[in-house]
Copies of this chain bind each other. A is one copy, B any other.
Amino acid sequence: MSIVRHEPSKIFSKVVEANGFVFTAGIVADDISQDIKGQTKQILAEIDRLLKIAGTDKTKVVSASIWVTDIRSRDAMNESWNAWTGGQNLPGRACVEAKLADPRMLVEIAVIAVK
């Protein structure tokens, strides 16, 4: 058993490797002035970067948790999601509504991958 933690802040690590699995934190957009489509695109680019750091990539994501602040914006979020997945190697996924740390954050995504 070994654990590798990457990019710890004061509160959490952005991505953690353990026992053949990779767990990201709940990722939000850097530029929260963008709409949900733009925020989702940013988040998924950040998840790509984190998965690479942990030695894996988006083709190996097995589960995704998505929180949106307005469930009616799910279709707009899915436009960026579908562009990212390309309809390939699709994980299990749950998407529900929840308020996030800042009211300008419209979406947050965490994934579990294998490596």
Decide yes or no whether A99 CB sits under 8 A from chain B: yes
The interface on chain A, measured as residues whose beta carbon lies within 8 A of the other chain's beta carbons, has a size of: 51
How many copies the complex holds: the figure is 3
A23-B112, A60-B3 known; A10-B82 Cβ under 8 A: yes
Q: How far is the CA of A25 from the CA of B96 in the complex (A)?
A: 12
Name A residues whose Cβ lies closer than 8 Å to a Cβ of B: 1, 3, 5, 8-16, 18-21, 23-26, 60, 62-65, 67, 71, 74, 78, 81-82, 85, 87, 89-101, 108, 110, 112, 114-115
| 29 A–B contacts, CB within 8 A, in A order | A1-B60, A3-B60, A3-B89, A5-B89, A10-B87, A11-B81, A11-B93, A13-B90, A16-B62, A19-B19, A19-B20, A21-B21, A23-B63, A23-B92, A26-B92, A26-B93, A26-B94, A26-B95, A63-B110, A63-B112, A65-B94, A67-B94, A71-B100, A92-B110, A94-B108, A95-B101, A96-B99, A96-B108, A97-B99
